[in-house]
Amino acid sequence: MADNVKLEFGGKASEYPVLSGTTGPDVIDIRKLYAATGAFTYDPGFTSTASCQSALTYIDGDEGILLHRGYPIDQLAEQSSFMEVSYLLLNGELPSAKELESFTYTISRHTMLHEQLATFYRGFRRDAHPMAIMCGVVGALSAFYHDSTDINDPKQRMIASHRLIAKMPTIAAMAYKYSVGQPFLYPRNDLSYTANFLRMTFGVPAEEYEVDPVIESAMDKIFILHADHEQNASTSTVRLAGSSGANPFACIAAGIACLWGPAHGGANEAALNMLREIGTPDRIPEYIARAKNKDDPFRLMGFGHRVYKNFDPRAKVLGKAATEVLDKLGISDPVLDTARELERIALSDQYFIDKKLYPNVDFYSGVILSAIGFPTTMFTVLFALARTVGWVAQWNEMISDPEQKIGRPRQLYTGPAMRDYVPVAKR
């Protein structure tokens, strides 16, 4: 462990311990800073702030490394299943065959929604964005499952977590069905987590839906790649909401709201819309020029990341998977050619090299999701479905951490200093 950090401020000296994790940068423990100096730290956007301790996910942005409980994401994506990764994130270790079977069984027994929840959908316009429906319906779960909301009881926390992981595919599929005017399909517990979701989304009551193993495997991989990502904006939102002791279902709804933004999970929808707008590789230079123009708010969607400054390991897996899936499905989509060419041109452009901007997870996922048959508005919903496991695992970890307090940042106040009220007649 490094020596204490010594600080001299306002004529007073103070010292701060340095804490080391298992891997990654040390952190300076400044919890006593305000008491010792009367000053706060200033870090808008939290670029240098560790908001908590966590044993779930590790990212090395310079090396392009992403580990869940120590396991590299590419190994998990290639060799495991979303149920295995969910168990790993929630429980800390990979499950034995028996544990996996029991976990999968438990999740499958929570897939149904309270029947009354179906009426919530009818309150939305048919053209509502499915993320708007997700925010509403997931928030509404808090009014239905009162027996799993004592957050101080680890068993109830786990039941709430299982319910959220299990019900998310049902809620997401219903959001899709509502938008296309088709009847909702009830879950089928004999299918895998991912196959059940695909059937509820693309099946119709009039005929049997055959789940294509190529699509099932691609979908499962996409779920794994989105399962967790350290203290990103939506996860921090879930933690902050949960830090007040709020209802777990409401906390996840808060995470969904944050994920929706185009700088976060909404980027997958924006990236595919952008690729379609570009249309053909010959128009790429025009868009590269716009991305580089300071006076133009346009950004290359699916490019850049707060933490990854070398490459996003999830984008590598997805770029490969996009080609495989389209090949196996026999689909030739010009959007994939545009994506590949855009990646090639951007990665050889000095602006993107200097700013260390690489394709992120959202760059190729849309190409696959579109090939599977999802409309772009569903892309972020799928991200939310998969990230739910990360959110609940992080929420559980936070609640059981004795050091965690209610999240309450301070500020650098720049408004008027105290002044006297002037009656309206004298203003």
Closest CB 134 distance from ligand CMC, rounded Å: 15
Question: Nearer Cβ to ligand CMC, position 203 or 304?
Answer: 304
Question: Nearer Cβ to ligand CMC, position 167 or 305?
Answer: 305
Our finding on whether 226 is near ligand CMC (CB under 6 A) is: no
Closest CB 356 distance from ligand CMC, rounded Å: 8
Closest listed residue to residue 262, CA positions, set 322, 304, 315, 296 = 304
Our finding on whether 272 is near ligand CMC (CB under 6 A) is: no
CA separation for the pair 14, 311 (Å, rounded): 39
Using only C-alpha atoms, what is the Rg of the chain? 23
Residue 349: alpha-carbon gap to chain centroid: 29
Question: Nearer Cβ to ligand CMC, position 167 or 264?
Answer: 264
Looking up tokens 């590790």, which residue turns up? 58
Binding-site size for ligand CMC (CB under 6 A) equals: 19
Of 63-71, 108-116, 241-249, 260-268, the window that binds ligand CMC (rule: CB under 6 A) is 260-268
DSSP 136: H
Site string for ligand CMC, 319-358 (x = CB under 6 A): ------------------------------------x-x-
Site for ligand CMC in 46-85 (CB under 6 A): none
153 as an active site residue: the answer is no
Site string for ligand CMC, 284-303 (x = CB under 6 A): -------x-------xxxxx
Nearby residues of 351 by Cβ (< 8 Å), 6 or more positions away: 291, 292, 357
312 as an active site residue: the answer is no
Judged by DSSP in three states, 299 sits in coil
Site string for ligand CMC, 354-373 (x = CB under 6 A): -x-x--xxx-----------
- Asked if 155 and 121 touch (Cβ cutoff 8 Å), the reply is no
Of 22-30, 90-98, 258-266, 392-400, the window that binds ligand CMC (rule: CB under 6 A) is 258-266
User: Hey, which bits of 3-79 come out as E strands?
Assistant: 5-9, 12-16, 18-19, 27-28, 57-60, 65-68, 71-72
Q: Which two tokens stand for residue 251?
A: 């906390």
**Strands of 57-60's sheet in order across:** 57-60, 65-68, 71-72
Closest CB 198 distance from ligand CMC, rounded Å: 23
Question: Nearer Cβ to ligand CMC, position 105 or 298?
Answer: 298
Pairing of the two strands 5-9 and 12-16: antiparallel
Looking up tokens 């809620």, which residue turns up? 171
Our finding on whether 264 is near ligand CMC (CB under 6 A) is: yes
- Asked if 248 and 164 touch (Cβ cutoff 8 Å), the reply is yes
Q: Which of 95, 136, 187, 304 is in the footprint of ligand CMC by CB under 6 A?
A: 304
Which residue lies nearest ligand CMC, judged by its C-beta? 304
Residue 276 sits at φ, ψ, to 5 deg, of -70, -40
Q: Which two tokens stand for residue 80?
A: 């495991």
Our finding on whether 163 is near ligand CMC (CB under 6 A) is: no
- Asked if 68 and 228 touch (Cβ cutoff 8 Å), the reply is yes
Question: Nearer Cβ to ligand CMC, position 117 or 267?
Answer: 267
The DSSP annotation for 263-279 comes to TTTTHHHHHHHHHHHH-
Q: Which two tokens stand for residue 328?
A: 């196996």
Of 109-117, 304-312, 365-373, 393-401, the window that binds ligand CMC (rule: CB under 6 A) is 304-312
Closest CB 172 distance from ligand CMC, rounded Å: 17
298 to each of 18, 98, 262, 293, 342, how far by Cα in Å? 41, 50, 12, 8, 15
Site string for ligand CMC, 118-157 (x = CB under 6 A): ----------------------------------------
> Which residues are near ligand CMC by CB under 6 A?
232, 263-265, 267, 291, 299-306, 355, 357, 360-362
Which sequence positions are flagged as catalytic? 305, 362
